[in-house]
Structure 1
Amino acid sequence: MVDFDALHAIIAPEAEAMGLALVRVAFFGGDSDPTLQVMAERPDTRQLTIDDCADLSRRISDRLDALEEAGQDPIDVAYRLEVSSPGIDRPLTRPADFADWAGHEAKIALKEKLDGRQRFNGTLVGIDGDVVTISDKEGVEHKLPFGAIDTAKLVLTDKLIAATVPLSAEGADEMEEEGQD
């Protein structure tokens, strides 16, 4: 149904042309609401503005539309395109994410059980080569092969909120006041 390698090869250059790093490309929603989700960020701020989202969405849409017209569409069903930042409790998809967010709480699910477990919660210690280390609440460190990870994401904590200062809060008061009428 969806060729993820082809999608990544199409979308990554569009993000890179804007100076963005691609965080995740996913397709979900099944038959009822198929959605192509693209998460990207500015490498220097780890964030994305609304204008960045809109610009990247247009670039991706234009590129996919051109491929469809040429009979080379990598997605064979109608779908919705969703472009966003990874958010505060972001997915961890790249090896660098595990190094960058060391010291923060995370949830990791493996593709298959390792030593009788498939899910790990705790504090990210980091990554060494292709081995991610997470320390559980008892302080036990678990070494997980990066390639064995199915999903991983940060857990929303006060420490994480403090570490992810917004680019700008300009206009936030005005928006709140408008909504109070």
Structure 2
Amino acid sequence: MGVPASKTELLDAISKTFGNLISDLERVPPELARTASMEGHAAGTMMSPADLVAYLLGWNELVLRWLERDDRGEVVEFPETGFKWNQLGLLAQKFYADYQHLDWQNLLIRLAAVNHRLVETISSRTHDELYGSPWYGKWTKGRMIQFNTSSPYANARTRIRKWLMAVS
């Protein structure tokens, strides 16, 4: 699948990659969901499937906050207030901690819910708003959304499939 260049392509990419990912996540045995046995997002760290879902949740909710702030005419701090782009490992650790209180089933429910909200907000926007002009540096809103939704979904699916093969 190529890089989405339109609203329709973005929605299709999110739908396909999320659908594939959630199917694989549903195969994770709940009793192993918090076992830190896959390579983490920061060099030299390990994470669990639950951490992987927390990471996706964190980014998806962050994208929604970016869009909401922008809609209100507020300054959007990328990637997140208090973090720089070279601190994404620390941001990943924050996401893991933010959702550590949720059990496996609730993590999956929450991930599906935030994905649904993203699809709704993308659907409510015009192609021109998403792809008509740069939003952050040279990147359009659509591209920034894709960087933090369908691309990480595909990456996460690769990680979880590798992990599932190792534990079975």
TM-score of the superposed pair, with normalisation by structure 2: 0.26
Task: Indicate the structure (1 or 2) with the bigger Cα radius of gyration.
Answer: 1
Where is the helix percentage greater, Structure 1 or Structure 2?
A: 2
Higher RCO (C-alpha under 8 Å, 6+ residues apart): 2
